[in-house]
Amino acid sequence: MRREVPLLITFITGVVFALSYFIPGGWLGQTERVFGDWITIVQAFAVWLGVLNLLKISLIKIQRKEHDWGYSVVIAVCLVGTIAAGMYSGFAPQFESFRDPETPFNFIFRNIFAPLGATMFAILAFYVASASYRAFRARNREATILLIASFFVMGGRVPLLDSIFMPIIDGTFFADFAGWIMSYPVTAGQRAIAIGIALGIMASSLRVILGIERSHIGGGN
Amino acid sequence: MNVRRPLCLLFAVFAIVGLSRAQDGDGADTASAEIIAEAAPVISPLPVPSVTASDVPNDDGSAILVEWELSPSDSVGGAVVGYRIYRAFADSGVFVVIGNRSARQNSTVNGEEVEPGVDYLYRVDVLAVRTNADGSSDTLAIPSQSSVPVAAVVQWFNTDRLWALIWFVIIAAATIYFIEKAKRGGNIYVRKIGGIDAVDDAIGRATEMGRKVFFVPGIQDMNDVQTIAGIAILGRVGAVAAEYETRLEVPTSRSMVMVTARETLKESYSKAGRPDSFQEDQVYYLTDEQFAYAAAVDGRIVRERPATIFYMGAFFAESLILSETGNAAGAIQIAGTAEPTQLPFFVAACDYTLLGEELFAASAYLSREPRQLGSLKGQDFGKGIFLLAILLGVILATANLIDLSQYFRIN
Amino acid sequence: MAGHWIAVAINVVVGLTLVWVLVRTIQGRPIERRIVFVYIALAVATPLFMKLEAPLAETPEVQSIVTTIKELPPGSRILISFDYDPQSAPELQPMAEAFIKFAFKQRHKVIIMGLWPLGPDQANQAIRAALEDPSVAELAPEYGVDYVNLGFQSGNEFVIQGMGSAFKNMFPQDERGTIYDNIPILRGVTNFSNVDYVQVFSSGKPGTREWVQVAADRFGATVGGGTTAVQAPEMYPFLRSNQLIGLMGGMTGAAEFEKAVEELGKANTFLLSQMFAHATVIVFVIFGNIAYFRSRRRDASTDAPTPGGIS
Amino acid sequence: MSLDIGVWIGALLTLGIFSFLYRDNPFYKLCESIFVGVSAGYWFCVFFFDNMVRKFYFGVFPSEAGIEPKYFLIVGAVLGALMLTRLIPSIGWISRWPLSFIVGATAGLYMMLFFVSNGLNQVADTMLPLYRETAGGDFDPAETLGTILVFIGTFTGLIYFFFSKEHKGLFGGAARVGIFFLMVTFGAAFGYTVMSRMSLLIGRMDFLFRDWLGLLG
């Protein structure tokens, strides 16, 4: 029971959803949207598991006074505090929605969540630089090609190479060249990857549907 | 008639010119504008000669295609500014506006509030600017005859997708054939893939160094095929880690992935004969937020200094945030993703990268199980068909003989 | 101006220290990544204080937006859709600010909306920035009369579709809760046939593509785009087919727009930062290679793995 | 300098995250913990109000008359509820059912969508005549070269992905060419993204210098 039922469920849903691609009518014609709706609802349930787990781990750390337990206090307080602020903002009658600009939830979003996210994203600028310094070295033919392509696109996308070579080559030669690289060789590479992915997804989905690959239900053979 | 059309046109042009100059409102121009307006007689554009409506094929009966002949007055620079499309229920006959199209356009799809099996009538009005004798102007709408009643129909098979079915069945059948063949025995050759061959060594390294192995299953939920592939790889990695008694940690950014990863690892550990070594807390949820997850995993990487880090699944901007940190922390890193935008970053920062298709093949490789390897052969068969098709298609297209792409392009 | 000279001075000094980095690299002692970080931070930060003009070529796609707006008679109605969130603001906000300033100076009426929840908020920031400009402040554009913010509406391209029959259906009231019919600027505005130009600032979906497909193709609106650099290439087919009358792509596009309307602002400064940052990355890539070739000469083992271990 | 408390909080958190670039430190750990806690709570609320209340509850029980209830959403709630059996260890195995459903549906649905959009349509897009002409009917060298490159790159790139054939001889040579194209792709895509990443950093710097410190006009 514990093993066969999940396998059967996977098989049936897999086949039905695959067939639905060819059927325009009824709910089968809209499986993508319907499934999307279901998933969002399941996520709303499942997030309890995650959040309770996060809280549990933090509380255990605090209780055992493990190394750096103080930060677990911060996590727990911020988690509970944000949820409380969100619930208050969502249910208090003076707000239309929990996202209203005046709600405490929105205050947290604007002044804590957003700057943290933006900064974490911005850190990438530094990493992009250090990764190029280290990795883009002409160690062999492949690496050299990688290096050259990135050099021309990096220099062409902003008016950098064009302005350096302004006295020799007029106009937007490097910008155009960067564009040319993006529209032809890059298209080719991406297309090969895309077609490979299509076949990879097809074969691994078949393995899942046929029950050959069953790790998601905790199953070997 | 022959003379009238160019004449109409000419007047219309005059009217427009006069109108636009009058709008400039410049004192000097008003006089001439008045003269032109006076010279232009009041003219009415001609209506749309005919309107046809038909069911949009291969859909769920929720759209009707409306086409019309352009009004004879609709020509470049003419007075016609556009068309207004009306619809009525055939039994009531009350027309309601459903949309506008600009001049020179002759069709629209009515895709909203269409019930299958209900008869509708359509009418298309020509909208045109009329210049009056006093120089003022207004917009005229000249209605057409209504179309014959039409109803949208629900189709049960999308014939546009027939070729998708044919190609799919061919490749899927081949895949199943190879799986069956492999099951009956028979040697299956698979070539070396650096990233996959390195898995055992990478885990072994962690064992020697007495450090942890991190497995990051991407930031998408279980409704992404890449996550499923990543979890399958986790199953194999978990078995090796259990065997080597190396501590494996899986931070997740999705609750459902946490649940699935736990199931998978539990099974791997018991299969490796070490069910007791598995602890649920090896797999933990951090947060659904992409960058907070990245910040937390980064922190763990610098603090725990894992010897080996796997990134298998769907990654976005956090790919380089994580792998640069891992690189600086001296970890061996093996990444795999089918997000084409992130591959360059993994390639730059990781020791091994599984590119797109290789991510999906990895679990089959690692399992070394005949049926799994057989499915890889099916993948190759598909590639063979596509290669052949591309070659033939390009040759035939260059020779201008047949357009093969029509059998591959699906809407 | 003092800021400018200090920034220039810092850059000269930093430029000189690169010689030290080069020497160290040649000696086979590559610098650690934290020093790379410092250079990037300086390369991005210092140009913000500089008063230099980024060298730019004129492109038809940006110029055509400028010409279109200039040719509209004063008092024309311009609809602007803000389809992005703060994450793309560095690229799109300067563009939006320059555009709104320009529209006000041309005495056009501006109607704002958003298909992204945080879009109208970005719009308010852009309006605020525009009003701070003395020459705009002089004209004293009035809310409700010269501009209005209709706020966010969910439904992606279906909102545009709905606006095709009546704006009012999609936006019964503006962001401040005023009923549509009571807003002076909207009197006589039924649908796209009553606006003279539509400008979209977008960073994804829904965005410029959807506006082209629905507002331009279906309802015949004149649509111009402003997108992030990453998105811009996808829009070129629409430009070629004239479904999109013009396009500002990323900071380069925004800076060119600023230049064309003679209104050097953030985009120009940001573009300078970007050029400095790119130059820094390129310099470090070159240094990295010098280091590599030096070390290879010392140590002849050249059996290096392919990037990403691909074989 | 700003007098807005929100700007100050934002600026301090920004500095805290940036401090990680130097090394791990208590300030970063604090910001990281705040971020994890706040964002987990944030998503919890978003899931609750957007997905649970608005999508599910008001989907099944519409607040206005005349809107048809979407009963199919109940399936999602049932799956979700089964997921929660995880909380009770003795019946936790039931959670495999909804998981199997989701995995099966994902496999079936995306198998077809990717097969067509990433596979068949891409193959069709490659089938172009190698000899290209301009709109005026003249030979177009740039476009011709481009089309030939796309053809060769796609073809050899796919050969690289073959698993069941050793990369030797002519086949191996083609695979090597394929790798070259992949390298161009990666290099170019990397260089291409640098621009947008830099602009994010510019945005943060602008926030610090303009909004917080008020040093920029």
Q: At what angle do helices A185-209 and B162-183 cross, to 10 degrees?
A: 60
The token duo for D122 is: 């891409």
Average per-residue pLDDT for chain B = 87
List the Cα angle B90/B95/B100 in 5-degree steps: 120
Tell me, yes or no, whether C155 and C217 share the same domain: yes
How confident is the model over D109-121, as pLDDT tens digits? 999 999 998 999 9
Q: Does A44 touch chain D (CB under 8 A)?
A: yes
d(CA B132, CA B129): 10
For B380, the closest of D28, D111, D164 (CB atoms) is D164
Chain CA centroid to CA D144, Å: 33
Tell me, yes or no, whether C199 and C121 share the same domain: yes
pLDDT > 90 fraction of chain B, expressed in percent and rounded: 64
CATH code for the structural domain at B188-368: 3.40.50
Of chain D residues 2-61, which have a CB less than 8 A from chain B? 17, 20, 23-24, 28-29, 31-32, 35-36, 38-40, 42-43, 47
Angstrom CA distances, D121 to A13, B112, B405, B408, D116, stand at 26, 28, 8, 6, 6
Predicted structure pTM score: 0.88
Q: How far is D196 from chain A (nearest CA, A)?
A: 9
Q: Give the pLDDT score at B163.
A: 96
Hey, are the CB atoms on C218 and B352 less than 8 Å from each other?
A: no
Chain CA centroid to CA B295, Å: 29
Which of D54, D55, D194 is the best substitution to test chain A (most A C-beta atoms within 10 A)? Answer: D194
Spell out the residues 6+ positions from residue D100 whose beta carbon is closer than 8 angstroms to its own. Answer: A5, A6, A7, A9, A10, A13, A216, A217
For A83, the closest of D45, D108, D191 (CB atoms) is D45
Q: Give the pLDDT score at B22.
A: 44
Pairing of strands B352-355, C77-83: unpaired
Q: Which residue has the tokens 């019309």?
A: B68
d(CA A197, CA C72): 49
Q: Which residues of B touch C33 (CB under 8 A)?
A: 328
Q: What number of other Cβ atoms are within 10 A of residue B52's Cβ?
A: 14
d(CA A218, CA B268): 8
Tell me, yes or no, whether C169 and C221 share the same domain: yes
pLDDT > 70 fraction of chain D, expressed in percent and rounded: 100
Residue B76's pLDDT band (cuts 50, 70, 90): low
Nearest CA in chain A to C285: A133
| Whether pLDDT at B31 is above 50 | no
User: Is the preceding peptide bond at C206 cis, omega within 30 degrees of 0?
Assistant: yes
CATH of the domain at C86: 3.40.50
Hey, are the CB atoms on D36 and B295 less than 8 Å from each other?
A: yes
d(CA D213, CA D210): 6
* Amino acid (one-letter) located at B381: F
Q: Does A17 touch chain D (CB under 8 A)?
A: yes
d(CA C247, CA C225): 5
CA atoms within 13 A on the CB side of B150: 24
Pairing of strands C147-152, C109-114: parallel
- What would the mean pLDDT of A117-124 be, rounded to a whole number? 94
For residues B324 and A130, the answer to whether their CB atoms sit within 8 Å is yes
Segments forming the whole domain that contains residue C278: 2-53+268-309
How confident is the model over B309-320, as pLDDT tens digits? 999 999 999 999
Hey, where are the domains in chain B? 44-151, 188-368
Pairing of strands B137-142, B119-131: antiparallel
Q: Which residue has the tokens 């009546």?
A: C166
Hey, are the CB atoms on B292 and A54 less than 8 Å from each other?
A: no
Segments forming the whole domain that contains residue D216: 132-217
The token duo for D195 is: 């621009």
The token duo for B389 is: 């098709």
The token duo for B194 is: 């650096």
Average per-residue pLDDT for chain D = 93
Number of H helices, E strands in chain A: 9, 0
Of chain D residues 60-119, which have a CB less than 8 A from chain B? 83, 86, 95-96, 99, 102-103, 105-107, 110-112, 114-116, 119
Q: Which residues of D touch A116 (CB under 8 A)?
A: 13-14, 17, 31, 34-35, 38-39
Residues of chain C with pLDDT under 70: 1, 298-303
Q: Give the pLDDT score at D65.
A: 77
Hey, are the CB atoms on A133 and C284 less than 8 Å from each other?
A: yes
| Whether pLDDT at B268 is above 90 | yes
Q: Which residue has the tokens 């060789």?
A: A185
How confident is the model over A82-118, as pLDDT tens digits? 999 999 999 999 988 888 878 999 999 989 999 999 9
CA atoms within 13 A on the CB side of B28: 0
- What would the mean pLDDT of B343-372 be, rounded to a whole number? 94
Say if D161 falls within a structural domain: yes
Under DSSP, the state recorded for B88 is E
d(CA B98, CA C219): 11
Sheet of B64-68, strand order? B51-55, B64-68, B107-110
- What would the mean pLDDT of A68-87 be, rounded to a whole number? 97
- What would the mean pLDDT of A189-207 be, rounded to a whole number? 95
Q: Give the pLDDT score at B33.
A: 41
Per-residue pLDDT tens digits of chain D, which is 217 residues long: 889 999 999 999 999 999 999 999 999 999 999 999 999 999 999 999 989 998 899 999 988 777 789 899 999 999 999 999 999 999 988 999 999 999 999 999 999 999 998 999 999 999 999 998 887 888 989 889 999 999 999 999 999 999 999 999 999 999 999 999 999 999 999 998 888 889 889 999 999 999 999 998 6
List the Cα angle A195/A198/A204 in 5-degree steps: 140
Count: domains in chain D: 1
Q: Which chains touch C (3 or more CB pairs under 8 A)?
A: A, B, D
Number of H helices, E strands in chain D: 8, 0
For D200, the closest of C37, C90, C250 (CB atoms) is C90
The token duo for D154 is: 């796609």
Q: Does D78 touch chain C (CB under 8 A)?
A: no
| Whether pLDDT at B1 is above 70 | no
d(CA C75, CA C87): 33
How confident is the model over D151-191, as pLDDT tens digits? 999 999 999 999 999 999 999 999 999 999 999 999 999 99
For residues C118 and C85, the answer to whether their CB atoms sit within 8 Å is yes
Say if D12 falls within a structural domain: no
Phi and psi for C227 in degrees, rounded to 5?
-130, 170
For residues B315 and B218, the answer to whether their CB atoms sit within 8 Å is yes
Hey, are the CB atoms on A44 and D194 less than 8 Å from each other?
A: no
Burial (CB count <10 Å: 0-12, 13-18, 19+), residue D114: buried
Q: What is the rounded end-to-end Cα distance, in angstroms, of chain A?
A: 15
Q: How far is C196 from chain B (nearest CA, A)?
A: 13
Phi and psi for D203 in degrees, rounded to 5?
-60, -45
Average per-residue pLDDT for chain A = 90
Hey, are the CB atoms on D189 and A186 less than 8 Å from each other?
A: yes
Q: How far is C107 from chain B (nearest CA, A)?
A: 14
What stretch of H or E contains B304?
helix B290-304
Q: Give the pLDDT score at A165.
A: 86
Hey, are the CB atoms on C48 and D182 less than 8 Å from each other?
A: no
d(CA C230, CA D188): 13
Say if D155 falls within a structural domain: yes
* CATH 2.60.40.10 is held by the domain B44-151: yes
Hey, are the CB atoms on D195 and C90 less than 8 Å from each other?
A: no
Show the 3-state SS of chain A.
CCCHHHHHHHHHHHHHHHHHHHCCCCHHHHHHHHHHHHHHHHHHHHHHHHHHHHHHHHHHHHHCCCCCHHHHHHHHHHHHHHHHHHHHHHHCCCCCCCCCCCCHHHHHHHHHHHHHHHHHHHHHHHHHHHHHHHHCCCCCHHHHHHHHHHHHHHHHHCCCHHHHCCCCCCCCHHHHHHHHHHHCHHHHHHHHHHHHHHHHHHHHHHHHHCCCCCHHHCCCC
Q: Which residues of D touch B225 (CB under 8 A)?
A: 106-107, 110-111, 114
| Whether pLDDT at A122 is above 60 | yes
Indicate the length of chain C as a whole number. Answer: 311
Hey, are the CB atoms on D206 and C91 less than 8 Å from each other?
A: no
